[in-house]
């Protein structure tokens, strides 16, 4: 049957066409050049020690597949030990592993929130939090990014409602590179009888004592209902832990559908994650180096008159404003050997098209200096109109 006679296939083709026309078409590409979009913040994904530990675990393990869901044959001592050790790392009573951060957020939110409850969610929260909220059917109040006056006003306004209330936030926002004040949010939650759920995806391994995250740094990891730590970024592995008290873990084992109805990850991955956590704890030198590289880049770009926002993390946005400018800057930087993409609406709010530099401890100071100079060049080329707008992404 030709596409034109099949409404569904016609719709799929039309939507793809529209995405292309609007410059929103996504493709899978291998990064080329000096990567400025890796989340492997500490370099653990290619750390020889972690590779050795993983190879050893595969060699010693009786099997490389788990054989089933955790509730049906896929459980093992390896995963129980990984969860116990991760809980100790996160500073909570318990932890439960999901196969991805996306699955963790989806499973957690859809399990704990329900119609009749209210979720207060930062407008820049990650898609996995948004989708979990949607799936739960809960009423959602989206507060403007970082506007805690508005959040408090909303909490006050919904003060008399009987359902449960949740404040949901990332601790380090992936597009802005700025922090949520986790301690203040915990106080707000306490004052208004709300539960706090925080996502530490970009903070774990990088911030907090021994890289334990920003909830631990603010000493509210036990007060929060749940702290989600992903393993695919600074921990160089895959999956995520929802860290909480024992009762919530038991609840999630029973009710989180992305846990219950999904095959357990292979046992060697549990070893890899345990090794990654042990290594990450001792990587203060890499954390300091990363902070220094981010400082040099921010200050250098600010000194050249660029807008890099208000963050202070390893994620540095470079605001271009218009889509055309962001595309042109990205293309110039690509020509100078940097793997970087323009991030445009709808991924980010209208008028805030940007480049996003995600730094890792593997970068050198020379590369950062080169990057600053390349940004200045890119701006000059764009203003003289010599760069065309073919670079894409976001």
Residues 115-134, mask of contacts with ligand PLP (x by CB under 6 A):
-----------x-x------
Q: Which two tokens stand for residue 393?
A: 């992404």
Among 163, 181, 183, 232, binds ligand PLP (CB under 6 A): 232
Active site residue 174: yes
Which phi and psi (to 5°) does residue 264 adopt? Answer: -65, 145
Q: Which two tokens stand for residue 12?
A: 């799929």
Q: Give the span between the Cα atoms of 97 and 83, in whole angstroms.
A: 7
Active site residue 202: yes
Task: Select 196 or 240, whichever has its Cβ closest to ligand PLP.
Answer: 240
Among 201, 315, 374, 387, binds ligand PLP (CB under 6 A): 201
Task: Select 38 or 75, whichever has its Cβ closest to ligand PLP.
Answer: 38
Q: Which of 105, 121, 174, 237 is catalytic?
A: 174
Binding of residue 272 to ligand PLP (CB under 6 A): no
Task: Select 108 or 189, whichever has its Cβ closest to ligand PLP.
Answer: 108
- The region of 64-72, 101-109, 264-272, 320-328 touching ligand PLP under the rule CB under 6 A is 101-109
Q: Give the span between the Cα atoms of 125 and 244, in whole angstroms.
A: 20
- Burial (CB count <10 Å: 0-12, 13-18, 19+), residue 385: exposed
- The region of 95-103, 130-138, 218-226, 262-270 touching ligand PLP under the rule CB under 6 A is 95-103
Task: Select 126 or 271, whichever has its Cβ closest to ligand PLP.
Answer: 126
Query: At what angle are helices 267-281 and 77-90 packed, to 10 degrees?
Result: 20
List the beta strands (DSSP E) in 134-286: 139-143, 165-170, 195-199, 226-230, 240-244
State the minimum distance, in angstroms, from the CB of residue 173 to ligand PLP. Answer: 8
Q: Give the span between the Cα atoms of 170 and 158, in whole angstroms.
A: 22
Let me know: does 336 contact 377? Beta carbons within 8 Å: yes
Among 54, 66, 100, 334, binds ligand PLP (CB under 6 A): 100
Q: How far lies 131's CA from each of 105, 114, 128, 175, 346, in Å?
A: 8, 13, 5, 18, 16
State the minimum distance, in angstroms, from the CB of residue 101 to ligand PLP. Answer: 2
Among 240, 318, 333, 363, binds ligand PLP (CB under 6 A): 240
State the minimum distance, in angstroms, from the CB of residue 198 to ligand PLP. Answer: 10
SS3 call for 106: helix
**For residue 346, cis peptide bond before it (omega within 30 degrees of 0):** yes
State the minimum distance, in angstroms, from the CB of residue 259 to ligand PLP. Answer: 14
Q: Give the span between the Cα atoms of 139 and 114, in whole angstroms.
A: 8
Q: Which two tokens stand for residue 149?
A: 């006056």
Active site residue 158: no
Active site residue 199: yes
Give the residue among 179, 202, 126, 175 at the shortest CA–CA distance from 355. 175
Kindly list the residues in this chain that would bind ligand PLP in the complex (CB under 6 A).
100-102, 105, 126, 128, 170, 174, 199, 201, 230, 232, 240
- By annotation, the residues acting in catalysis are 39, 126, 170, 174, 199, 202, 233
């Amino acid at each position: 049957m030709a596409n034109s006679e099949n409404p569904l296939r016609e719709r799929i083709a039309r939507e793809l066409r529209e995405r292309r026309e609007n410059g929103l078409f996504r493709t899978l590409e291998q990064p080329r050049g000096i990567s400025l979009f890796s989340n492997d913040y500490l370099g653990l994904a290619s750390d020889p020690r972690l590779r050795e530990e993983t190879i050893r675990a595969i060699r010693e393990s009786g099997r490389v597949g788990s054989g089933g869901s955790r509730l049906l044959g896929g459980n093992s001592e390896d995963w129980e030990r990984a969860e116990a050790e991760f809980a100790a790392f996160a500073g909570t009573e318990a932890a439960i592993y999901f196969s991805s951060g996306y699955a963790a957020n989806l499973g957690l939110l859809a399990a704990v929130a329900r119609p009749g409850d209210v979720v207060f969610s930062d407008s820049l929260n990650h898609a996995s939090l948004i989708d979990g909220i949607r799936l739960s059917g809960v009423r959602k109040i989206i507060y403007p990014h970082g506007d805690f006056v508005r959040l408090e006003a909303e909490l006050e306004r919904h003060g008399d409602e009987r359902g449960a209330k949740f404040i949901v936030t990332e601790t380090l926002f992936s597009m802005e590179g700025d922090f949520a004040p986790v301690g203040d949010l915990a106080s707000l939650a306490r004052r208004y009888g709300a539960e706090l759920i925080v996502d530490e995806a970009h903070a774990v391994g990088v911030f907090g004592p021994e890289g334990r995250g920003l909830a631990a740094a603010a000493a509210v990891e036990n007060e929060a209902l749940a702290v989600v730590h992903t393993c695919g970024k600074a921990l160089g592995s895959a999956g995520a832990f929802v860290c909480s008290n024992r009762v919530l873990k038991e609840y999630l084992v029973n009710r989180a559908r992305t846990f219950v109805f999904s095959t357990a990850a292979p046992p060697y991955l549990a070893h890899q994650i345990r090794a990654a956590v042990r290594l990450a704890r001792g990587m203060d030198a890499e954390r300091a180096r990363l902070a220094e590289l981010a400082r040099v880049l921010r200050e250098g770009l600010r000194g050249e008159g660029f807008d890099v926002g208000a963050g202070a993390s390893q994620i540095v946005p470079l605001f271009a404003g218009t889509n055309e400018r962001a595309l042109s800057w990205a293309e110039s930087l690509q020509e100078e050997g940097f793997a970087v993409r323009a991030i445009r609406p709808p991924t980010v709010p209208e008028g805030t098209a940007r480049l996003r530099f995600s730094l890792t401890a593997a970068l050198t100071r020379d590369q950062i200096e080169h990057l600053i100079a390349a940004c200045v060049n890119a701006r000059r080329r764009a203003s003289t109109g010599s760069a065309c707008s073919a670079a894409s992404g976001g």
